[in-house]
Chains A and B, each alone.
Chain A
Amino acid sequence: MIAHLEPITGRYVNLEIEGAPVRIYFEEAGTGTPVLCFHTAGADNRQWRHILNDEALTSRYRFIAPDMPRHGKSLPPEGWQTEEYLLTTETYISTVLAFADALGLDKPIYAGCSMGGRIALQLALRHPSRFSGFIAIEASDFQPAWYDIDWFHRPDAPGGEMGAALVSANIAPQAPSVERWNTQWMFMQSGPGVFRGDLSFYTRDDSLVGQLHRIDTKRAPVHLLVGEYDLTCTPEDALRTADAIDGATCDVMPGIGHFPMSEHPEAFRPHFVAALERMP
């Protein structure tokens, strides 16, 4: 067997988020237009592994995929051991902006999935001048939880494995088995309380409701992608959201669930390529 060395490189950047020093791990590949790629709740940047390995795309784009603090190889901020982790929209936005500044990125495209997709819409509303466009994957203004987030951080049960079993509901049956299980592995590996803390803002912050009409897609385009098997952000949720944003577009992806780039990279690719082509 011939060893295959992937073109992805991983590095760490030390920066401050809301006054606290953090060490962020990120992976990148490619040259050209920068594209920030943010992962879902309870997972990490490995969800983007196939896009970062796509040579036809990395010849035109520089994909940069960070691990949010506490996720993947990014350590938590000092003092985490006595804090209850509850991510907020404000902290997520601060993280994205601080990371883009730290890398000196000039108006990157922002692509994010699930909670990262929700933040795409928040950034489009609050910071459109910082980005050239937004790809909001499995994103909507808001949808209530159909589960109890406290299930995923208990002393008597493995939160990661329970989270993986729950999110398997969001993976389409068409997903190749190896990618289905790779996708769940990341949830199984997530740190204690991380999935719950991510979901706390995702399932409770409804601050986008009634605000979508204020997003100006002439300043930066917004394109939504949603999988037809997504139970959490359903096609109806995404289409409703796109309809409320003047100029936004939405693409429903057949045979795909909530983790498109990870669970079924081959089916996701053409939709993502079309989304990139909509960006300036």
Chain B
Amino acid sequence: MTPQQVFPRLQEMQASHNDRPHLARLGALFSETVLLEVDTVEHYLTFEKGKLVLLAEGPSRKTPWRFALRTDADALDRFWSALPEPGFHDIFGLVKLNRGRIDGDILCLVKNLRFFKEFMALGRQEAAG
């Protein structure tokens, strides 16, 4: 996977995400923008009451975000594999392996952790087609 291939994957994930009522319920209080930075490519994900309403590519110096997940394309590709290797199976695993970093309001992430982790895991289903 290249950093440029992330955005189309996110678009597929957006459709899957918004089709899942339980994610809207889990994210009912989550109305935030999240930065997903893959290598140096920025992606801004704007959630509104649990729905992913806007996807935008960076770079942007004007888009405020609540928290950021920064990783590299190879790590994200391995994270999104159908059966990820140990450590690549979870966003905190990426952090522990020094292949990911979480910046910003980490408490906001932790309060909505199941919601955000289930969103990120949708990339595996999209990879599997």
Give CA–CA (A169, B110) in the complex, Å. Answer: 12
Chain A 208-231 interface 0/1 with B at a Cβ cutoff of 8 Å (1 = within): 000000000000000000001101
> Is B92 in contact with A169, judged by CB distance below 8 angstroms?
yes
13 contacts between A and B (CB under 8 A): A146-B95, A146-B96, A151-B110, A157-B110, A162-B110, A166-B113, A168-B90, A168-B114, A169-B89, A169-B93, A173-B83, A173-B84, A173-B89
B54 to chain A, nearest CB (A): 24
Task: List residues of A whose CB falls within 8 A of some B CB.
Answer: 146-147, 151, 157, 161-162, 164-166, 168-169, 172-174, 228-229, 231
User: Which residues of B come within 8 Å of A, CB atoms?
Assistant: 83-84, 86-87, 89-93, 95-96, 107, 110-111, 113-114, 117
Within the complex, the shortest CB–CB distance from A232 to chain B, in Å, comes to 9
Is the CB–CB distance between B110 and A231 below 8 Å?
Answer: no
A228 to B93, CA, bound (A): 12
Q: Which of B84, B91, B92, B93 has the most CB of A within 10 A?
A: B92
Most buried by B among A157, A165, A168, A229: A165
How far, in angstroms, from A142 to B20 measured CA to CA in the complex? 40
Q: How far is the CB of B22 from chain A (nearest CB, A)?
A: 12
Instruction: Say how far A227's CB is from chain B's closest CB, in angstroms.
Output: 9
Do residues A166 and B86 form an inter-chain contact, with CB atoms below 8 A? no
The docked-state distance in angstroms from the alpha carbon of A172 to that of B95 is: 17
Contact B110 A166 (CB under 8 A): yes
Contact of A228 with B86 at beta-carbon distance under 8 Å, contacts A146-B92, A151-B107, A169-B93 already known = yes
B83 touches A174 (CB 8 A): yes
CB distance A231 to B83 under 8 Å? Answer: no
Distance in Å: Cβ of B75 to nearest Cβ of chain A:
15
For B91, list chain A residues within 8 Å (CB): 169
Q: For the complex, give the distance between the alpha carbons of A185 and B64 in Å.
A: 35
Known: A172-B89, A173-B84, A173-B89. A162 touches B113 (CB 8 A): yes
* A161 to B, closest residue via Cβ: B114
Q: A157 near B111 (CB under 8 angstroms)?
A: yes
Indicate if the CB atoms of B95 and A165 lie closer than 8 Å: no
Could you say which residues of chain B place their CB within 8 Å of the CB of A168? 90, 114, 117
In the complex formed, the residue of B with least CB distance to A229 is B86
Pick the most buried of A146, A164, A231: most chain B CB atoms within 10 A of its CB: A231
Cβ-closest chain A residue relative to B114: A165
Q: Are A231 and B96 in contact (CB under 8 A)?
A: yes
Which of A151, A161, A162, A169 sits near B90, CB closer than 8 Å? A169
Q: Separation in Å of the A270 CB from the closest CB of chain B?
A: 20
Please give me the residue from chain B that is nearest to A147 by CB atom: B92
By Cβ-Cβ distance, the 5 closest A-B pairs, closest first, are A165-B113, A169-B90, A165-B114, A169-B92, A229-B86
Chain A residues within 8 Å of B96, by CB: 146, 231
- Measured CA separation A95–B6 after assembly (Å): 52
Q: How far is the CA of A190 from the CA of B91 in the complex (A)?
A: 24
Q: Give Cα A157–Cα B113 distance, bound, in whole angstroms.
A: 11
Taken together as a complex, chains A and B put the C-alpha atoms of A170 and B86 apart, in Å, by 10
Residues on the B chain within 8 Å of A162, using CB: 110-111, 113
Min Cβ gap A78→B in Å is 32
Distance in Å: Cβ of B107 to nearest Cβ of chain A: 7
Q: Which residues of B contact A231 (CB under 8 A)?
A: 87, 90, 92-93, 96
Q: Which residues of B contact A169 (CB under 8 A)?
A: 89-93
- Distance of A151 Cα from B102 Cα, bound (Å): 15
Distance (whole angstroms) from the CB of A137 to the closest CB of chain B: 17
